Structure formats: C-alpha cells, structure tokens
Chain A
C-alpha cells in the first residue's frame, strides 16, 4: 500500500480533467448519433426506447473510453524496459478506491434501472407490457379506460409459415397488416402451431406468440408508411421467410381499405413458405434435411404484398 503523493500534481490533474472533459463530449456525441442506428420511429414506443438507448449509449461510451484510456496509457507508459525483469512497486489494494468503484457502478446501474422502469410503466400505459395481469373489470367488458379506448381489436394468427390478420368488426382478413395512424390498437395474438414472434422493428415492439394462449398486445402507430413485420422466435424451416408488411394509413385511407376489402372474395394469401415448398417438391432428390410441411396459405380477402419497398 503506497500513499498518494503528498503534493497535488497540478499538470496531471489538469491533463486528466481535460481528457475526461473530452471523453464526456465524445460520449454525448455518440449518444446523439445512436438515434440514427435505428429504423424510423413509427410508434409511440419508439421515441421512448430510442431515448433510453441513447442515454445508455452515452454512459456506455464513456465507461468504455475511460477503461480503454487507462489501458492505452499503461500500455504506452508503464511498459517494462527491454531486459528489465524486476518487479514493480507492490500496490496490493486501496480500500477507499474499492469502495468508490463499487458504489459508482451500483448507483449508475440502479439509475438506469429506475429510468428503464419508468419507461416500462409508460410503455405499459401505452400497452405492450401488460398482457398477463390481474383481471380488470373494464377490460373484461371489452373497454379500456379513457384515452386508451382501442379503435379496433385485430386478431393475428401466426402459423408455420404465414401471418394472417383478421378485422372482426369489419369482417375482413388479410396477409398484409393495415393499421390506422395515431390510434391505440389492440392485437389478439394466437399461434396455431409453434412459438412465433410478432416483431415490427419500426415500432420497437415484440411479443412472442405462444400456442395455447391468446395474448393481448397494445400499440399505437404514429407514422404513415410501409414497414416489416418479422417472425422473431425461431419457428422452423421457413422462419426467415415468415415476413409480412405492415401498412400504416391515414384514418380515411384505412377506412377506405377496410370497406374495399370487405367486398373482395376470399383467396389464397401470401405464404412464401408454400411457394418454396412446391419448388422443393419438384426437385429430385429432395434437397436438404427433413422439414415440417407448411400450413396451406390462409384464405383472405386481401393477400397484399410483402415484396414492395418498405420504410423499415
């Protein structure tokens, strides 16, 4: 245990302060940059998630750069001279330092956790987290309190490997998900076979779809555009091809789409897996290893498309 130098080394303190200031500046900048690493923000959840991520990116950048600075410094300045096999000064520890570097990470991670919990709660108000909860009388009656009255309950049926969206009130079904902008929506997620993941990156939201359960899942789209819905829980052979498009329309366009769709006859919806499986059957010998046979494409009013350019 060595004592710290009795007199304060002014140039060193100044140098370290300047360096820390520089790192803080860089960290703030990286934190702001992080917003661009995401797809466009298309739901009420997106700004909250991106904000939290930016905050953690800034803190994380600072921690990383600080550790890297110390390592860089010792590698440059505390290298043994060639042929110097002697030992360094034996510093075995420093209780004060050890307490400080326990306390600082503790406070830091708890601050992040509390912030994140607040975001959780806000997201919870907005919808997505609370699919398993104590029975709520209002919900049982099919209603939501105040501003959370959902415009529509949309049923999502996940299969190996297709997505089917049903609009019970309008009597419409589709393999392309159409949503009205700025409306709180409730989805009822069901799976007919295995686990699937209902994941729309532009919305920053994801929920596993679990066979044997119907999960209520709430969100509010905020931006008109065409986005990707991806299966996020491995579901077998055509897992990667199990994608659908999400079209967020203005309220008027959405109504128009629903009205037009209701008049269309049922036809086979999109299932890339079925298309690929047909091709596979024509090959001899059958390529690859065994696979589960895809479910037939759902019969829907509107097949839509999953091959158009999408915003995210």
Chain B
C-alpha cells in the first residue's frame, strides 16, 4: 500500500488533534461513515437492547421463582423467553461485537477506516430498523413470536390468528434483515483485514483480535446464507402457504433444523472467537509478557472455523437423525476441544510467571476464562451422544450456553470495554465501580447459571412456564442470581456515563500496552494515522523483549507525549 513511511514524514507529524475542530457529540446521532463513530453507535444501541432483553430475563426468572405459571400468562411467558433469546443474540451480542470490530480493526492494523465506509453505515443502520421491527412485534394483534429463537416449524407456522402481519412474520423479517446486516459487516471486516494492513504487518504480525475477527467473519459469510435461506422458506410457509417444512404438504420439519443449525452453531463461534481475541490481547498486557505460542493461537482460530462448520447435527441428536450421524458429529464436536484447549493453555502459559496487574479488565478476563473452562467441560458432556439424549432440551443446556455466552463472552466484552474505553473516549473509567461491577457479575452469573445444571440432570425441560415442585430449590437460587445480575449492570452504566462525561483524561497509552492503536492519541483522530502509517517491524505482544513494534517508535511516542503535555 502506498503509504509514505519515510523518517521525514514521521518527524513532521502534525499535532493531529489540535488541528481538528472539536467534534460534536451529535455525530453519534446521525449517518456517520467513521468506523469509530459507528463502533460506538453499535455498542450503545447494543446495550440499549441488552437492558430490554435483560428485563425480559428478570420476568422469566420471576415466573420460575415458583412452580406454577402464576406471574404471567403462559402465552406471555413463551413470547418473553423467545424475545429474550432473540434480542440478546441478534440485537445485543452481534451488534456489540461488530462495535468492537469497528473500533479495533482499523486502529489495530493502521487503516484510516473500514474498506467500505458507506456499506458500514448501512450495515449499522439496519440494526435499529430490524430492532424496531422486533419491538413492534410486541404490539401487533396476537403478540410477538413465541416459538423460541430456533423457530422450529410446525409450531412457528401455526399462526393462531391467521393474520399476514403476525409476531412470527415480523420476527422472520427481522432475522433475515439481521442476516443481511451481518453479511454486509462481514464483507467489510474481511476486506479491511486482508487489504488495509499497515506496511510491514504480515498476517503473522497481526494482533490476535484481528485473526479471530477474520475467522469469525469468515464463518458469517459461509454460514449465514443457509440461515437466511431457511428463514425465507419458513416465512413463505407461514405467509403464503408453501410446504417446505409442512408435513401435511410433503415437507420435512427436520430440514429446517439443518438449515438453522448449519449457521447457528457456527454463530456460537462468531461470538466466542472475538472474545478469545480479547483474552489474547489483554492477558499479555496485564501479565507484562508476550502471548504464549502466538502463531499456534492464530492458527487455532481457523481450525475452529473448519471444525465449527461440521458439528451442527449435535443440536439434533434426539430429533430424528441416524446412528452414524450421531457418532460422526460426536467425533467432530469432541475435536473442537483440541484447538480450544490450545488457546486456554496458551493463556495459562501467558499468565505463568508474569507480573499480573489485577485491573478491572484483567479481572473480567480471568473470570471469563474460568467460566469458559467450565462451559467447555459441560460442552464435552453435551457432545457425548448418550448424555445428550438425556440432557438435551433441558436446563443443562441452558446452563451450558449461558456460561459460554454470559460467563465467558459477555465478561470478555466487558473486559474489552474497560480496556479500550480510554482509547476511544479519551477518558479513564473508574476502577472502584469497575471492580464492583466485576464482583456482582461473576457472583451473579455463577449463582444464576450453575443451578441450571442439576436441574437439567434431574430432567427439567427448558422453555417451561411451570414445573414440578421438586425443581423449586435450584430455581430459586437461579432466580436470585438473575436478580443479582440485573443489579450488576447499575455500576457499569454509572461508570460508563460518569467517566465519559467527567472522568480523568486518558493518555495515549494508559495501560502501557503494545499495539498500533496505542500509538494514536486518545481518542484517535478521524482518519487514525492518516498518511503517516507506521511500518510494523515485529510481532505483537513484545512485552519484556525491548523490541519496538514499529519503525521510529520512540519518535512517535515523544510526539504523542508532547501533544498531551500541551493540551
């Protein structure tokens, strides 16, 4: 790429932030093409929906506090649990991760912006569009979709009121739009990573977060068409009476399950891979050591991609698949433990004999890691066909995936937010509130999700609005945990709002971290390095090696410090 990287260009670096007019916060409200604005838009919108879906979870756990269906009507319960899962996945976790991608990918690889800035804007603005569709579905006659986030037919095509505009049809429309948005995002992220890296940044000098983003977004590109196609066929079955999945018309309801899980299992890796990236970025910073086995950790992401695409039938062991499929998909699923184990051991190797700093982001990473190890073990149990036959569709599964998604992924996302908050807002978050947030989250998550495992082993099905009295004890504990998690969000929101408004000013590198993004002012100027992209000369995470990451690093840092002193 033709970036001028001569020493003269470096030494004459203008004081970027001083030249620019003060940017108004109102840019966050409009159609921006700036990846850093879009990133924050994604994250803020995601947390708005996180609060809604979290509130639905509180009602669900309130209903399950006692055995009978007594808090809400059964129809309402079914709608609420469906919307809880749907909003959490399509409107919280994917958008928040895309927000991190937008903030981190260009700054980490030294690109001025995403490859296709307007495509990026369009992908983001689809989120509030399909988000509004989903929220609107609460108010259509008959209420929202109630067939679970899987929307398995024939329940999902029963349409009790017979209206064309039903909760279920809006749901399918929203999911299809979400798929379109994600595909647009994926094209952008993959292209940006492959084509716009700083000079000298070969693939094996690229930060692991970008590796995992590349892996995750490749999965989106491969898997999403299957889900989107499957969802459109379901929409046709529902609205115009086709029989793709309708048994009385010769269709096969199990076919839908294949389309659905062909994407929706890899979707779990779309979620967890970037979180592995976050762990790989943060453990070195707060252990003051290089990432252990960097190359292997990078490659393991793509082994996970390959295997992740051939395990989907493990969601369908009891739903009518042959013996050979059960055995085959058990083996492929088990194999995923190997590259995943490699990563876990690499993080332990990074921590080992380090100089650990237990800051808020580090605590979230450590908590996320131990939760992830637990969920990995229950994952192996679920991969084992005979055990899965007993616990599939029970609370054991609900416990397992909440450990993955809340215990590991959401905690990793919180770690990332605390870690990169100073970079993109120019303000330091408060440590005290952060640590309080960590303790409440860690205790709340374990209290909420651990009791689900004994419930599942005892045989309590998931998605029930009432249950037999023998399940009451563990359900009460789980509900208390859920309410604690509800409380845990308060210190987080307080911290974000107050520190962004009046937190202490952040320097360009408050954590003394290594990476291109830390060679930019906090917050970075609109075009990041503009034409002065540094040339990368070593691998990331050179903690303790004394090797500079880029050419003329000392000069760049001196400039940044001078700039901060004069501000």
Q: Which residues of A contact B (CB under 8 A)?
A: 37-39, 45, 48-49, 52-53, 56-57, 60, 63-64, 67-68, 70-71, 74-75, 78-81, 84-94, 97-98, 101-102, 105-106, 108-110, 112-113, 116-117, 119-120, 123-124, 128-133, 193-195, 197, 199, 201-202, 204-208, 210-213, 215, 228, 230-241, 243, 276, 287-293, 310, 312
Q: Verify if B258 is at the interface (C-beta below 8 Å from A).
A: no
Q: Verify if B192 is at the interface (C-beta below 8 Å from A).
A: no
CA A108 to CA B167, docked complex, whole Å: 46
Smallest Cβ distance from A256 to chain B, in angstroms? 28
Q: Given A105-B341, A212-B253: A240 and B142 within 8 A (CB)?
A: no
CA A74 to CA B350, docked complex, whole Å: 10
Indicate which residue in B378, B389, B458 contacts A39 across the interface (CB closer than 8 Å).
Answer: B458
Smallest Cβ distance from A30 to chain B, in angstroms? 12
Indicate which residue in B69, B248, B393 contacts A233 across the interface (CB closer than 8 Å).
Answer: B393
Task: Please name the residue on chain B nearest to A38 by beta carbon.
Answer: B457
A210/B75 in contact, CB under 8 A: no
Q: Verify if B21 is at the interface (C-beta below 8 Å from A).
A: no
A78/B351 in contact, CB under 8 A: yes
Residues of B within 8 Å of A38, CB to CB, are 457-458
10 contacts between A and B (CB under 8 A): A56-B384, A60-B378, A79-B357, A105-B337, A129-B323, A232-B393, A236-B78, A276-B74, A289-B167, A291-B75
| Stretch of B40-48, B369-377, B434-442 on the interface side | B369-377
Residues of A within 8 Å of B319, CB to CB, are 195, 208, 210, 233
Smallest Cβ distance from B305 to chain A, in angstroms? 17
CA A206 to CA B79, docked complex, whole Å: 25
Which positions 318-362 of chain B face chain A at CB distance < 8 Å?
318-323, 326-327, 330-331, 334-335, 337-338, 341-342, 344-346, 348-349, 351-358
Which positions 443-474 of chain B face chain A at CB distance < 8 Å?
454, 457-459, 461, 463-468
A88/B289 in contact, CB under 8 A: yes
Q: Given A60-B377, A129-B323: A86 and B154 within 8 A (CB)?
A: no
Q: Verify if B98 is at the interface (C-beta below 8 Å from A).
A: no
Interface string of B276-302 (1 = CB under 8 A from A): 000000000001111011111000000
Which positions 507-533 of chain B face chain A at CB distance < 8 Å?
512
Smallest Cβ distance from A41 to chain B, in angstroms? 11
Residues of B within 8 Å of A109, CB to CB, are 334-335, 337-338, 380
Indicate which residue in A37, A93, A237 contacts B457 across the interface (CB closer than 8 Å).
Answer: A37
Q: Verify if B106 is at the interface (C-beta below 8 Å from A).
A: no
B384/A106 in contact, CB under 8 A: no
CA A120 to CA B386, docked complex, whole Å: 6
Q: Given A90-B543, A109-B380: A71 and B348 within 8 A (CB)?
A: yes
Q: Verify if B552 is at the interface (C-beta below 8 Å from A).
A: no
| Stretch of B120-128, B144-152, B173-181, B218-226 on the interface side | B144-152
B293/A206 in contact, CB under 8 A: no
Q: Verify if B143 is at the interface (C-beta below 8 Å from A).
A: yes
Q: Verify if B158 is at the interface (C-beta below 8 Å from A).
A: yes
Q: Given A71-B370, A89-B353, A90-B543: A206 and B393 within 8 A (CB)?
A: yes
Q: Verify if B14 is at the interface (C-beta below 8 Å from A).
A: no
CA A93 to CA B356, docked complex, whole Å: 18
Q: Given A71-B348, A87-B289, A233-B393: A63 and B353 within 8 A (CB)?
A: no
Residues of A within 8 Å of B545, CB to CB, are 90, 92
Task: Please name the residue on chain A nearest to B251 by beta carbon.
Answer: A212
Smallest Cβ distance from B547 to chain A, in angstroms? 9
Indicate which residue in B143, B344, B345, B366 contacts A289 across the interface (CB closer than 8 Å).
Answer: B143
Most buried by B among A52, A86, A201: A201
A289/B461 in contact, CB under 8 A: no
Task: Please name the residue on chain A nearest to B82 by beta carbon.
Answer: A234
Smallest Cβ distance from B134 to chain A, in angstroms? 15
B342/A79 in contact, CB under 8 A: no
Residues of A within 8 Å of B351, CB to CB, are 70-71, 74, 78
A101/B461 in contact, CB under 8 A: no
Smallest Cβ distance from A290 to chain B, in angstroms? 3
Q: Given A70-B351, A87-B289, A289-B76: A204 and B389 within 8 A (CB)?
A: yes
A206/B392 in contact, CB under 8 A: yes
B142/A289 in contact, CB under 8 A: yes
Task: Please name the residue on chain B nearest to A37 by beta carbon.
Answer: B457
Residues of B within 8 Å of A239, CB to CB, are 78, 463-465
Residues of B within 8 Å of A238, CB to CB, are 74
CA A194 to CA B378, docked complex, whole Å: 30
CA A87 to CA B79, docked complex, whole Å: 52
Q: Which residues of B contact A (CB under 8 A)?
A: 69, 72-76, 78-79, 141-144, 146-148, 152-155, 158, 160-161, 167, 247-248, 252-254, 287-290, 292-296, 318-323, 326-327, 330-331, 334-335, 337-338, 341-342, 344-346, 348-349, 351-358, 366, 369-370, 373-374, 377-378, 380-381, 383-387, 389-390, 392-394, 454, 457-459, 461, 463-468, 512, 542-545
Residues of A within 8 Å of B146, CB to CB, are 236-237, 289
A240/B467 in contact, CB under 8 A: yes
B76/A195 in contact, CB under 8 A: no
Task: List the 4 closest A-B pairs by CB distance, nearest first.
Answer: A201-B459, A289-B143, A212-B247, A288-B73
Indicate which residue in B76, B330, B352, B458 contacts A37 across the interface (CB closer than 8 Å).
Answer: B458
CA A123 to CA B454, docked complex, whole Å: 24
Indicate which residue in B141, B296, B320, B338 contacts A210 across the interface (CB closer than 8 Å).
Answer: B320
Q: Given A205-B389, A210-B254: A80 and B355 within 8 A (CB)?
A: yes
B466/A241 in contact, CB under 8 A: yes
Most buried by A among B79, B386, B458, B459: B386
Residues of B within 8 Å of A230, CB to CB, are 459, 461
CA A205 to CA B409, docked complex, whole Å: 32
B369/A71 in contact, CB under 8 A: yes
CA A45 to CA B321, docked complex, whole Å: 19
Most buried by B among A71, A75, A79: A71
B390/A204 in contact, CB under 8 A: yes
Indicate which residue in B392, B454, B463 contacts A234 across the interface (CB closer than 8 Å).
Answer: B463
Q: Given A74-B352, A105-B341: A288 and B74 within 8 A (CB)?
A: yes
CA A24 to CA B154, docked complex, whole Å: 48
CA A102 to CA B296, docked complex, whole Å: 10
Residues of A within 8 Å of B154, CB to CB, are 193-195, 211
CA A124 to CA B386, docked complex, whole Å: 10
Task: Please name the residue on chain B nearest to A209 by beta carbon.
Answer: B320
Residues of B within 8 Å of A45, CB to CB, are 386
Residues of A within 8 Å of B337, CB to CB, are 105, 108-109
Task: Please name the residue on chain B nearest to A198 by beta carbon.
Answer: B318
A206/B318 in contact, CB under 8 A: yes
Residues of B within 8 Å of A116, CB to CB, are 330, 384-387
Smallest Cβ distance from B149 to chain A, in angstroms? 11
A48/B386 in contact, CB under 8 A: yes
Smallest Cβ distance from A102 to chain B, in angstroms? 6
A132/B74 in contact, CB under 8 A: no
Additional A-B contacts beyond A91-B290, A101-B345 (10; CB < 8 A): A49-B387, A71-B369, A80-B288, A92-B292, A129-B385, A205-B389, A208-B319, A234-B78, A234-B147, A240-B69
CA A197 to CA B143, docked complex, whole Å: 25
CA A113 to CA B329, docked complex, whole Å: 10
B247/A211 in contact, CB under 8 A: yes
A71/B366 in contact, CB under 8 A: yes
Residues of A within 8 Å of B458, CB to CB, are 37-39, 201, 312
Task: Please name the residue on chain B nearest to A99 by beta carbon.
Answer: B296
A90/B289 in contact, CB under 8 A: yes
Smallest Cβ distance from A213 to chain B, in angstroms? 7
Indicate which residue in B75, B323, B331 contacts A288 across the interface (CB closer than 8 Å).
Answer: B75
Residues of A within 8 Å of B390, CB to CB, are 49, 201, 204-206
B355/A101 in contact, CB under 8 A: no
A234/B74 in contact, CB under 8 A: no
Task: Please name the residue on chain A nearest to B161 by beta carbon.
Answer: A290
